[in-house]
Amino acid sequence: MFKRSDQDKRPSVQIFVDGAAIAAREGDTVSAALLASGRDVRRATAVSGAPRLPYCMMGVCFDCLVTIDGVGNRQGCLVPVAEGMQVEIQKGKREIGR
Amino acid sequence: MHRDYDVAVVGGGLLGSAIAWGLGRLGKTVVVLDEGDITKRASRANFALIWVQSKGLGMPAYTGWTVRASESWGKLAAELQAQTGLDVCLQQNGGFHLTLGDDEFEQRGQLVTRMHNQVGAADYRMEMMSASEVKKRLPLIGPEVSGGSFCPLDGHVNSLRTFRAFHTGFKQFGIDYFPERAVSAIALDGGEFSLATPKGEIRAGKVVLAAGNANQTLAPMVGLSAPMGPTRGQIVVTERTMPFLPHPLTTIRQTDEGTVMIGDSKEDELDDRALKHSISAVMADRAQRTFPHLARLNVVRSWAGIRVMPQDGFPIYDQSESHPGAFVACCHSGVTLASNHAFEIARMVAAGALESKLVGAFSASRFEGRRAANSSGY
């Protein structure tokens, strides 16, 4: 769906999405990297379980909620990627212990 | 004169709505005269417990009345769902009051003993449990939890949806609901009541004052009294999390949709527009000492609400001698007692007289002459 620009020369950063290695770029947010990955990165909402993708990309809509390095309900659009980051697509409510 | 309605209910909160719904259920023509959206409304600020344990110390009749409500809540939830399609998410598998440290455990034990020793109170099987017994039912408690009391009749409900269900039910019963109709005067005129509102006069054969703390002002208009002593409470709400809390607690519960509500302070201040963060901090601290995992969750909302509270903490149900057909009803526990209001109080109002066997103890005459016992009404 999304295609990286040929002029984008930023260095590559490797993150893991549900265990699979993904090539992101330095300066990407987690949400941008997920959308650019080509994977099915739809989360499921907390109450009805409806599928959702990052939407506003500016911290307002909370549709990008994702588990990052073991912490649930992070706003993926506000967190820059970092080498080796572990991202999990969150299905439903956050678990209380993470 | 033309009589508009059989009954005018003054107040469209949870208590007035339950009584109005109950009257509509009995085929009465009913109008509900309410204030507007910005009114101080406990119906939208409450903690949503259906709570029995510790109710009635100092007034055994209140224990029996509360047990009766707990036992008929299932019927209310079923009727509301059948009528409106709304599931109020009633859960009644028992509730805990947990204690932190040995002193609190000992004090709670003494309260349970005093409740058991009270003559004339219904037995509702409240028992003390050690921390290890509690842990079998609530595995995520922290090391500071010393135990607590458990009552199998306790539960909770989605109180906002209950409120909505009553109002949805109004339409099907043909009940008129009028907001922005604060009642400023009530007169008995030719055997019926005339109520003055900002948008004109309403006439009804009977009137039920269910206006919360405002009953204190309204009741004298029809020869009744309702001495109130409201308090403020604060609530903290977390983001939604997977179900971890199978029973509600006095001060912590997980809603049907996964948020965790942390309550409930008791303050003398009566401004509900601002929060005292120092109080929220104490509540949150106790909550995370009770369930350490809560410390990881984000808080998404908090608010202050004003409790409807008769001066001694116990409900007031009364009927006027000087103005036959006028009733007053107010209590703190509008959620817990909703079933009693919908079934019992509505039936009595429809019949024209309160039944002393069930609610005689709750007459405001108890305030006359002596200082009424001020005890653990809630």
Domain count, chain A: 1
- Minimum distance, in Å, between the CA of residue A80 and any CA atom of chain B: 20
Question: Which residue from B minimizes the CA distance to A92?
Answer: B242
Burial A9-31 (b: 16+ CB within 10 A, else e): eeeebebebeeeebebbeebbbb
The DSSP 8-state label assigned to residue B167 in this structure reads H
A94 within some domain? no
- Minimum distance, in Å, between the CA of residue A87 and any CA atom of chain B: 18
Residue A66 bridge partners (DSSP)? A74
Domain range for residue A36? 12-88
Contacts of B140 in chain A (CB under 8 A): 96
- Minimum distance, in Å, between the CA of residue A97 and any CA atom of chain B: 5
CB B92 within 8 A of CB B154: yes
A46 within some domain? yes
Total residues belonging to chain B: 378
Residue B324, classified by CB atoms within 10 Å of its CB into exposed (0-12), middle (13-18) or buried (19+), is: middle
CB contact under 8 A, A97 and B239: no
Can you give the CATH number for the domain in which A29 is found?
3.10.20.440
CB B283 within 8 A of CB B289: no
Indicate if the pLDDT at residue B294 is higher than 80: yes
pLDDT digits (tens, 9 = 90+) for B324-354: 999 999 999 999 999 999 999 999 999 999 9
CB contact under 8 A, B242 and A95: yes
A24 within some domain? yes
A79 within some domain? yes
pLDDT digits (tens, 9 = 90+) for B194-231: 999 999 999 999 999 999 999 999 999 999 999 999 99
A59 within some domain? yes
A98 within some domain? no
pLDDT digits (tens, 9 = 90+) for A68-88: 999 999 999 999 999 999 999
DSSP for B92-157 reads: -S-EEEEEEHHHHHHHHHHHHHHHHH-TTPPP---EEEEHHHHHHH-TT--TTEEEEEEETT-EE-
User: What ipTM did this prediction achieve?
Assistant: 0.86
* Residues ≥6 apart with Cβ < 8 Å to B51: B66, B95, B154, B250, B333, B336, B378
A52 within some domain? yes
pLDDT digits (tens, 9 = 90+) for B51-72: 999 899 999 999 999 999 999 9
Distance between CA atoms of B92 and B74, rounded to whole angstroms? 9
Residue B128 bridge partners (DSSP)? B149
Phi, psi at residue B346, to the nearest 5°?
A: -60, -40
CB B88 within 8 A of CB B80: yes
Q: Supply the pLDDT for residue B371.
A: 55
CB A23 within 8 A of CB A12: yes
CB B56 within 8 A of CB B74: no
Indicate if the pLDDT at residue B376 is higher than 60: no
Q: What is the CATH number of domain B5-83+159-227+312-367?
A: 3.50.50.60
Q: Supply the pLDDT for residue B2.
A: 58
Map out the domains of chain B as residue ranges.
5-83+159-227+312-367, 231-307
A57 within some domain? yes
Please tell me the class of the B231-307 domain. alpha beta
Partner A contacted by B240 (CB < 8 A): yes
Contacts of B252 in chain A (CB under 8 A): none
Contacts of A98 in chain B (CB under 8 A): 296
